[in-house]
């Protein structure tokens, strides 16, 4: 009786506290929105200004808040582009078997092309589009960050759509959902958990490539931009250890802030999309999400603006879907448009293939042998890296995803570790291995591991968090423990997420091999046999024929691996390891 009275009193005081702090919360929300708008307007004013040939990067710590804001805005815009691309590309690939046959291999090819290979073309193209404005360089940097973020998100969304239980799809068909209703009420919720964790990995990847994207010099042209990446690069070039520490401290602070105000609230919110019949005893919580839910201003905006807009969109799409179902002309029009676009795309591909074929005629027999040896060496390194990553990330990811208290501590630490550029740590690793006699052959595997193991870890965490509570309780009731629990419950449940993590980690490892196998250090070049070293060496020499040949070889091996291994794994995940009834 006394406990009930204490609980009622505590609840009453909580409600009173919420009521008294509601105006303050609304004021904080309004101030935050106004500050965000001011930052965007200030950045837009700078971007739309005249092109600045040379931007001076100050190493004074007072400039770090401004640099952090610029970098955060670029990563945020790149993430928005990545999310839009993911939803459209993954939806089409998963829902159209004909398109799927070439869209998924194309995704493999794109993720295998290193970000550094996109740099010259993307930056020059954007500057050519906006020659007199700073916007061109900014758009180039954002698109380059986009190429480092998007691929694992697209793979995750595609995998989630392919593993939706059949009974849920049949229910949507019975209730005659339009494509929009099916997307909003079934497909998007079913993919939320995997998409959230891969979004975290993508943003971490954006920080990873920030140094290259914000400070790029091509010949005599300087495309550096104010930001955390260019600050760290400038400090490293000057050997200013204090400035490097200030920059890393600022980056870690921004990552922790993002974790508290973005990722933890999103993880707590995504818990409601978990497919289970029994609610979990422990669920993720977020103080910032609780703050947002108590805001009367946000509730009013949602009630007056977003709810009516979403209902209007749903009704409009439902009416158009019904009209198109009874009229065959739109279908004919779409078919004509599709055929026309297909012919134009084939013509473009044929033109590019002809140009590449002419360029490849300059390859010698010795260079072909070099490509073969490099391809084999890098293939072995990539697979050794995946094996080492799997050995520790699978048990660690399951432990983090199954234990809420551990997740609160380990999640931000993993984000920080995934966001710190591995190339910044590589000189230390290389120096240590040179002293003990390991050489670049071992150091390259360590660098590949530093850059790719997080893809597997974050996907395994998402898979472990998505295991329904009722299945966990059933395994406890039937006394399934130890290895039997792993074999019967955990490994089958996380298998689709693990495949996605391994696919994206494999692509990331091929991508990182260009830096790992060919490294400038103390005025010397350290290299080992590998396809990445061949690409880097060809870039330094300006040997475009060898560069194109090596890039095509890398794309070919990635597509072949996809056909022979990952496609079968995805099919196994769809048929045997999905939550079907």
Asked whether 235 and 247 are in contact (CB, 8 A), the reply is yes
**Both tokens assigned to 147:** 């190429």
Query: Is the confidence at residue 198, as pLDDT, over 90?
Result: no
**pLDDT tens for each residue of 495-537:** 988 988 888 888 778 877 877 787 766 567 777 888 888 887 7
User: How buried is residue 554: exposed, middle or buried, by Cβ count under 10 Å (0-12/13-18/19+)?
Assistant: buried
Query: Is the confidence at residue 324, as pLDDT, over 70?
Result: no
Query: Is the confidence at residue 220, as pLDDT, over 50?
Result: yes
Distances (CA, A) of 466 to 121, 190, 268, 285, 513: 40, 10, 13, 16, 32
Which residue did the predictor score with more confidence, 78 or 5? 78
- Single out the residue of 421, 420, 423 nearest to residue 520, CA to CA: 423
**How many whole angstroms separate alpha carbon 402 and alpha carbon 83?**
27
Q: What is the pTM of this model?
A: 0.75
Query: Is the confidence at residue 8, as pLDDT, over 50?
Result: no
**Both tokens assigned to 172:** 């949507």
**pLDDT tens for each residue of 399-448:** 988 887 888 788 777 777 776 666 656 666 666 766 666 667 777 888 88
220: Cβ contacts below 8 Å, ≥ 6 apart: none
**How many whole angstroms separate alpha carbon 553 and alpha carbon 538?**
14
278 SS3 class: coil
Amino acid 6: pLDDT: 47
Amino acid 277: pLDDT: 59
Query: Is the confidence at residue 83, as pLDDT, over 90?
Result: yes
**How many whole angstroms separate alpha carbon 194 and alpha carbon 188?**
11
**Both tokens assigned to 61:** 């710590």
336: Cβ contacts below 8 Å, ≥ 6 apart: none
331 falls in which pLDDT band (50, 70, 90)?
Answer: low
So where are the chain's domains?
25-294+362-575, 297-327, 328-361
- If one counts every other C-beta atom within 10 angstroms of the C-beta of residue 476, the result is 11
**pLDDT tens for each residue of 57-74:** 888 888 898 888 888 889
Asked whether 555 and 467 are in contact (CB, 8 A), the reply is no
47 falls in which pLDDT band (50, 70, 90)?
Answer: confident
CATH number for 25-294+362-575: choose from 1.20.1250.20, 3.90.1640.10, 1.10.3720.10, 2.40.160.20: 1.10.3720.10
Amino acid 348: pLDDT: 72
Of 157-166, 305-314, 380-389, 517-526, the poorest mean pLDDT is in 517-526
Helix axes 135-162, 491-516, angle to 10 degrees: 150
DSSP structure string for 363-420: --HHHHHHHHHHHHHHHHHHHHHHHHHHHHHHHHHHHHHH-HHHHHHHHHHHHHHHHS
Which residue did the predictor score with more confidence, 48 or 470? 470
**pLDDT tens for each residue of 372-388:** 888 899 999 999 999 99
Amino acid 218: pLDDT: 58
Query: Is the confidence at residue 15, as pLDDT, over 90?
Result: no
**How many whole angstroms separate alpha carbon 207 and alpha carbon 215?**
13
**How many whole angstroms separate alpha carbon 212 and alpha carbon 221?**
15
313 SS3 class: helix
Amino acid 3: pLDDT: 47
Mean pLDDT, the chain, as a whole number? Answer: 77
Which residue did the predictor score with more confidence, 120 or 15? 120
491: Cβ contacts below 8 Å, ≥ 6 apart: none
User: How buried is residue 294: exposed, middle or buried, by Cβ count under 10 Å (0-12/13-18/19+)?
Assistant: middle
Q: Which residue bears the tokens 């919580």?
A: 285
The angle subtended at Cα 89 by Cα 84 and Cα 93, nearest 5°, is: 155
Which residue did the predictor score with more confidence, 529 or 52? 529
Query: Is the confidence at residue 567, as pLDDT, over 90?
Result: no
Amino acid 328: pLDDT: 47
């Amino acid at each position: 009786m006394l406990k009930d009275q204490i609980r009622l009193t505590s609840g009453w005081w909580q409600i009173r506290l919420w009521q008294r702090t509601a105006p303050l919360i609304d004021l904080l929300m309004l101030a935050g929105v106004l500050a965000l708008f001011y930052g965007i307007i200030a950045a837009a004013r700078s971007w739309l200004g005249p092109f600045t040939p040379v931007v001076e990067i100050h190493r004074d710590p007072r400039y770090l808040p401004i640099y952090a804001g610029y970098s955060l805005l670029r990563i945020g815009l790149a993430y928005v582009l990545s999310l839009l691309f993911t939803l459209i590309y993954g939806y089409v690939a998963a829902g159209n078997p004909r398109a799927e046959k070439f869209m998924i291999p194309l995704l493999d090819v794109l993720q295998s092309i290193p970000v550094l290979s996109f740099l010259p073309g993307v930056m020059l193209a954007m500057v050519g589009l906006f020659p007199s404005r700073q916007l061109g360089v900014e758009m180039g940097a954002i698109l380059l960050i986009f190429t480092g973020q998007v691929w694992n998100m697209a793979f995750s969304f595609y995998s989630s759509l392919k593993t939706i239980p059949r009974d849920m799809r049949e229910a949507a068909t019975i209730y005659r959902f339009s494509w929009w209703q099916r997307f909003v009420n079934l497909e998007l919720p079913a993919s939320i958990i995997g998409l959230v964790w891969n979004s975290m990995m993508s943003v971490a990847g954006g920080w990873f490539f920030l140094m290259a994207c914000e400070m790029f010099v091509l010949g005599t042209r300087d495309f550096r931009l104010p930001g955390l990446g260019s600050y760290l690069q400038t400090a490293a070039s000057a050997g200013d250890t204090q400035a490097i520490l200030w920059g890393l401290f600022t980056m870690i602070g921004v990552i922790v802030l993002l974790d508290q105000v973005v990722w933890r609230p999103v993880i707590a919110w995504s818990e409601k999309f978990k497919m289970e019949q029994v609610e979990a005893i422990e669920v993720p919580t977020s103080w910032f999400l609780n703050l947002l839910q108590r805001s009367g201003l946000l509730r009013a905006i949602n009630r007056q603006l977003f709810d009516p807009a979403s209902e209007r969109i749903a009704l409009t799409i439902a009416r158009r879907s019904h009209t198109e179902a009874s009229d065959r002309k739109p279908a004919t029009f779409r078919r004509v448009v599709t055929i026309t676009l297909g012919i134009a795309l084939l013509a473009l591909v044929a033109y590019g293939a002809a140009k590449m074929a002419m360029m490849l005629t300059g390859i010698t027999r010795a260079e072909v042998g070099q490509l073969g040896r490099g391809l084999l060496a890098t293939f072995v390194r990539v697979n050794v890296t995946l094996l080492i990553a799997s050995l520790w990330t699978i048990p660690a990811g399951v432990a983090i995803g199954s234990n809420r208290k551990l997740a609160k501590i380990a999640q931000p630490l993993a984000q920080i570790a995934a966001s710190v550029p591995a190339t910044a740590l590589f000189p230390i690793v290389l120096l240590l291995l040179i002293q003990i006699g390991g050489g670049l052959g071992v150091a390259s595997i360590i660098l590949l591991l530093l850059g790719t193991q997080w893809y597997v870890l974050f996907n395994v965490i998402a898979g472990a968090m998505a295991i329904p509570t009722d299945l966990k309780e059933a395994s406890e009731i039937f006394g399934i423990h130890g290895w039997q629990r792993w074999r019967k419950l955990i490994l089958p449940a996380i298998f689709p997420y693990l495949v996605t993590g391994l696919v994206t980690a494999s692509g990331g490892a091929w991508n990182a091999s260009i830096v790992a196998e060919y490294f400038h250090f103390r005025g010397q070049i350290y290299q080992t046999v590998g396809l990445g070293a061949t690409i880097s060496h060809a870039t330094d020499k300006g040997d475009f024929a060898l560069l194109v040949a090596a890039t095509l070889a890398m794309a070919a091996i990635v597509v072949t691996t996809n056909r022979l291994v990952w496609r079968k794994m995805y099919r196994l995940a769809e048929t045997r390891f999905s939550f079907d009834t």
